[in-house]
Amino acid sequence: MKKLILATFLALTLSVFAKEVKIVFLETSDIHGRLFSYDYAVGEQKPNNGLTRIATLIKKQRAENKHVILIDSGDLLQGNSAELFNDEPIHPLVRAENDLKFDIRVLGNHEFNFSKSFLEKNIKGFNGAVVNANIIKTADNKPFVKPYLIKNIDGVRVAVVGYLVPHVPTWEASTPEHFAGLKFLSAKEALEKTLKELKGKYDILIGAFHLGREDEKGGDGIPDLAKKFPQFDIIFAGHEHAVYNTKIGKVHTIEPGAYGAYLAKGVVVFDTKTKKKTITTENLPTKDVPEDEELAKKYEYVDQKSKKYANEVVGEVTKTFIERPDFITGEAKITTMPTATLQETSVIALINKVQKYYAKADVSAAALFNFGANLKKGPFRRKDVAFIYKFTNTLIGVDITGENLLKYMEWSYRFYNQLQPGDLTISFDENIRGYNFDMFSGVKYQVDVTKPAGQRIINPTINGKPIDPKAKYKLAINNYRFGTLSALQLVTNADRYYDSYDELQDGGQIRELIIQYITEEKGAKVTPELEHNWEIVNYNFKNPLLKKLAEKLKEGSLKIPTSKDGRTLNIKSIKESEVE
């Protein structure tokens, strides 16, 4: 009888103390300087951008939920004129996240675009915890920042592990001082070690990973890590600029896109008695969400200074550069095949001309980071430069052999899918981003898209002579592409003969060099010019069915296929038979 009474008492006691704890996780990623919803490069208010809109959603979630953990998954401080404020003791975007009481920041690759002192002061200036499990100090093999954070919330132990795609040394190869004394571990090495250390120390395990669903260099992507480390409850992702919400096994994976378009939300309800977890995830859209007035007012000076700088007139565009940005529809908005990917345009010609001029190079290569980039007749403002050249890249000059130059050109023109008989349109490989499609100046060449990748460059000449595989040529590229070519073993550090950053620091940004070239060498006149040095062959650009295709696209009976993440247009060719 006593045993029965005791058992009943214990059961009642446990039932009294057992409870469910609801914890809400909110994540932003890839804000890229969008404190406000205004895009300074195009001079346009966006309906679904900005930390000020995100702030409204955050405050609503906090008002509705007792336990909220707020995470930023990286690439906060680069883009949209954010660099104008790099000299402030703490960057206004970091201060804004402090105001919103962010608990955790993860470093993204673009946090390493600037000096290490800039990186460190904005780590120190953040009131929460900066976490990355795979950034290690080479001097003592200790973590550069905390690998994880453990929070005890109402008796529930929550661990959040940070991770950054490990390719910073490649992408910042021309500026190793940006990551001096640091090494970046692979996901396998970093996470195995971290999770071993965390074993038995958490009830809920969260990943905050600045990593896409595929790793650009062939390493593990988000789905791979969800399968290899199924102990994670939720992996909040970034880097890819994609919007998705997918369950892989038992692991919820979610990414909120870029620029503040969405706020990722994960809810974990934890039963302290049974240890059972109920998990839901969703992306909350910011479209038409009002900006938080308090945050907007406090940082109004950021908006005003950015607009003033963006609208500074530095020259005059004498004629619109690209008359038909969309090859099929002719519209300014790209929805089908960007003209800039199918032929030389005066925009890419201008960028290459500037690069060749300052690097004193034989050949230049550049990508359009925005296929809709154009310059229209009228005042030439700083924002126009940011529109045609999105990033703060610097200029590198390298000596490259003719053999490796040809390998580089073939690498770039993998961008196209192989044209098949009956194809009406040229399409793009959905696994190759547009920023990895370089077009060349100083070389005359043809591109045969009916050939497989690696066999497409025809009749390449420099100064009227075939490229000599053994000769050395001077090549102008941006610092990111230098990292790519280094990784491909086409150039080395010893091949560098010019670095605009070494010479001019931030004044060596390619955007600044474009302005300098226009004002100092062209009398502030920006005139469209073509080199007429390359063309696609074995494709009929005047096929009458293209006009019929435009009509079908307009009426909606046909659609150009787009990648699942929405970042790559035109991933599959339209067949002539679909239009006839």
User: What pLDDT sits at residue 3?
Assistant: 54
Identify whether 363 is part of a domain.
yes
Residue in the structure block whose two tokens are 């060498």: 521
d(CA 413, CA 455): 9
Which domain range does residue 432 map to? Answer: 312-579
Residue 160 pLDDT > 60, yes or no? yes
Q: Are residues 553 and 411 in the same domain?
A: yes
Residues 375 and 296 in one domain: no
- Say if 50 falls within a structural domain: yes
Structural domain tally of the chain?
2
Instruction: From residue 287, give the alpha-carbon distance in Å to each of 259, 366, 443, 545.
Output: 12, 34, 45, 38
* pLDDT at 572 > cutoff 50: yes
pLDDT at 7 over 80: no
In sequence order, which ranges of 430-560 are alpha helices (DSSP H)?
A: 479-487, 500-504, 510-521, 545-555
pLDDT (0 to 100) of residue 18: 63
pLDDT higher than threshold 50 for residue 166: yes
CA–centroid distance for 427 within its chain? 22
Of 302, 327, 361, the last residue of a domain is 302
Q: Does residue 235 sit within a domain? A: yes
Residue finishing a domain among 302, 335, 350: 302
Reply yes or no on whether the pLDDT at 8 is more than 80.
no
- What is the model's pLDDT at position 413? 98
Summarised one tens digit per residue, pLDDT across range 19-69 is 899 999 999 999 999 999 999 988 889 999 999 999 999 999 999 999 999
Residue 452 CA, chain-centre distance (Å), reads 28
pLDDT of residue 84: 94
10 has pLDDT over 60: no
Q: What are the pLDDT digits (tens) for 64-112?
A: 999 999 999 999 999 999 999 999 999 999 999 999 999 999 999 999 9
User: Do 230 and 105 share a structural domain?
Assistant: yes
Final residue belonging to a domain, choices 275, 302, 329: 302
The pLDDT assigned to 13 comes to 47
pLDDT given at position 56: 98
Q: What is the pLDDT of residue 5?
A: 52
pLDDT at 190: 96
Residue 345 sits in the same domain as residue 320: yes
User: Alpha-carbon distance 530 to 517, whole Å?
Assistant: 17
Distance CA 246, CA 65 (A): 24
Contact 257, 239 (CB under 8 A): no
Do 415 and 284 share a structural domain? no
Q: Is 460 exposed, middle or buried (0-12, 13-18, 19+ CB in 10 A)?
A: middle
pLDDT of residue 17: 58
Same domain, 385 and 474: yes
- Band (pLDDT 50/70/90 cuts) for residue 2 is low
* 277 & 416 share domain: no
**Residues in CB range of 517: below 8 A, 6 or more apart:** 353, 354, 357, 358
- Give, for 411, the enclosing helix (H) or strand (E): helix 402-412
434-445 pLDDT per residue, tens: 999 999 999 999
Q: Are residues 194 and 325 in the same domain?
A: no
The CATH code of the domain that includes 286 is 3.60.21.10
Tens of pLDDT, residues 116-147: 999 999 999 999 999 999 999 999 999 999 99
Amino acid 174: pLDDT: 87
Say if residue 103 is in the same domain as residue 229: yes
* Domain assignment present for 255: yes
pLDDT at 456 over 50: yes
Q: What is the CATH number of the domain that holds 399?
A: 3.90.780.10
Note whether 200 and 269 are same-domain residues: yes
Q: Distance between CA 254 and CA 265 in Å, rounded? A: 9
pLDDT at 73: 98
> Is residue 10 included in any domain, yes or no?
no
Give the CA angle between residues 347, 351, 352 to the nearest 5°: 115
Tell me whether residue 234 is in a domain.
yes
Give the separation between CA 163 and CA 235, rounded to whole angstroms: 10
Q: In the numeric block, which tokens belong to residue 79?
A: 């883009």
Q: Binning pLDDT at 50, 70 and 90, where does residue 182 land?
A: very high
Asked whether the beta carbons of 73 and 108 are under 8 A apart, the reply is: yes
Cα–Cα dist 29/34, whole Å: 11
Whether the pLDDT of residue 393 is over 70: the answer is: yes
Q: What is the mean pLDDT of residues 342-369?
A: 97
Q: Are residues 291 and 170 in the same domain?
A: yes
**Residue 55 maps to a domain:** yes
- 262-271 and 277-285: which strand pairing? antiparallel
- On whether both 292 and 356 belong to a single domain, the answer is no
Please say if the pLDDT value at position 9 is more than 80: no
Q: Note whether 417 and 429 are within 8 A (CB).
A: yes
Q: Is the pLDDT of residue 1 over 70?
A: no
In a domain, 6, yes or no: no
Instruction: Please report, rounded to a whole number, the percentage of residues in the chain having pLDDT higher than 70.
Output: 96
* Mean pLDDT of the residues in the chain: 94
For 191-213, what is the mean pLDDT? 97
Give me Rg for the CA atoms of the chain: 26
